Structure 1
Amino acid sequence: MTAMSDGEEIVFDQPCPIRDVLDRIGNQWSLLILEALSPGTLRFNALMREIGDISRQMLSRTLKQLEQDGFITRTLYPEVPPRVEYTLTELGHSFLAPMQQLITWADSHHRDIVVARRRYATDRK
């Protein structure tokens, strides 16, 4: 699938925009990282503390994907030791409202989902 942007043809690797975007933001860590960055800029170790149970490798990988997709920016300061900060882009900020709706919905319906899972498991025995 192709589209035009500023006179330039763009070829989409994934023709389904919903699947393409959800594959990235729907993973286990992206929403937590975006939520952690919603108040403002954070350094890598601060993100680690904020999220808690994410490995350094997974945080690094997910940050790179979010940067690649334009949700965040990474700023490297040439200091010793190097300082790296992450912040939401305009695109990242634009995602906060629908993300918050999803978080609110999940929080409101989590109990119902857990009950349904238990009922399903009980009915299958």
Structure 2
Amino acid sequence: MESSDRESKLIRLSYTQRIAKKSNETGQQISNLLQQLAEENQKHEAIIDDFLDFANNIISKLSPEEQVVINEFVKRITDLRVTANNGVSYMLKLLNEQNKYTKESTAELKNLIEEGL
């Protein structure tokens, strides 16, 4: 193997190793953030469920004006729940995309190693 070819492969190997390492680290960070987001989301889900149960139990005892206020608040809470769930879905998509990059860079690294230096 020529010296310049070997140097080129060493550079590619080094570069690919750095990409694979950084990709893996980024995937871990996304995974940790997703875990934290899911835990917080779950805590808030219980609070929201309790409030919705309370609102459903009390609404018939309220005046029409108060019912409108409670219904508007329930709508806002429900919208926040949807937004939080969309955040979790987005983080899952990011994690899946990051995993794809990690697999690709790891496969490239494996190929470079198998080619030999």
Q: Same fold (TM over 0.5)?
A: no
Higher strand proportion: 1
**1 or 2 for the larger relative contact order (CA 8 Å, sep ≥6)?**
2
Question: Under TM normalisation by the shorter chain, which class is it?
Answer: under 0.3
Structure 1 length normalisation: TM-score?
0.27
Higher helix proportion: 2
Structure 2 length normalisation: TM-score?
0.28
